Structure 1
């Protein structure tokens, strides 16, 4: 009995080393698991389900093989791929979850999320997030031709990287109070998220009760997988090549 969690792969055609590691992971490590959870930023950029590039088809095929084998796969949107929608779900069999979802993880109620909603000190990002998650703005964007959306997405990705380089690293991390507030709001003592690219297991105190916040790693230099069984929880790495 094993459940796997991954996040922040930032897959793109420009990084075949990451893609190959992901495809090997999907082919070799998911055969007998109970479920796979992808907690956002699977792709470096997703501008709509109608982008049927060979690269995207390759990734979607890996998920379809998994779900066709009877193993459930769940996805929570990240800040890079929040436009993944119903068509992607239908083509892959991947089930889309709410941005904050509580699951029963071998008897432990666990809150899973991408993690960007916890970074409340990054005011500029939270304003941007509110804007791009507006359904009307998303509809307007999706009305544009695919090539136009690709250009806009590339420009926004470049601007985001430049802005992040100018920000203090602590501002882009989660806010401790926001973490405690969310654990209390959902009445859980276990949280799993990505987004910050700071893999770690944090032990917390929530109103006198022990709590755990597990942060998934990114896939920039090596793969990162959280492996959970009824008896254990371990952050593991996977080497490229």
Structure 2
């Protein structure tokens, strides 16, 4: 009798242990998928750019002679950019400055042997930017104050006149940037510049004083390093 009771107790203990093991067993949790990182456009940057420009130059001596002409100008340019950007969600705000060496020029023969010329020596701008980002792609608009050093010239029957003046006007444009790495950014941009009108005083009695008004379209590519 005692043996049967002892066997019963042992069996019940084993069954209880088995049930307890079933209670504490569990399936492992499924792995959590990694969250894709989103590029941050905030930061300072510095870079280089180059492109092509074309536009119009209007030269007028205000009725002092028959000098009143508008002609085409075009050529290449190279320069540098520096700026800063701040990202809020998908919206990117920024400021940027640029300065470019220019080979943009043009001439017009207003009379046989009488040639008028315009040459943009350098130009630049200080701008505000507003953009929208899709991860590593940024589409933006930009605009601000433009400035340039522009030369006007005239060559008539072997006698020449040349003067340069600083112009101040405005600019507006749009561009597209792509972050190749966290630090390297490449992009392309279109700009329109209106450099305004400036007075040129002749130091040669053969030529009259004149006004010159220059506007310019540009397309360019750039590469920047973001800190």
TM-score band (shorter)? under 0.3
Rg larger for:
2
User: Whose relative contact order is higher, 1 or 2, with alpha carbons under 8 Å and at least 6 apart?
Assistant: 1
TM-score with structure 1 setting the length: 0.23
TM-score with structure 2 setting the length: 0.24
More helix per residue: 1
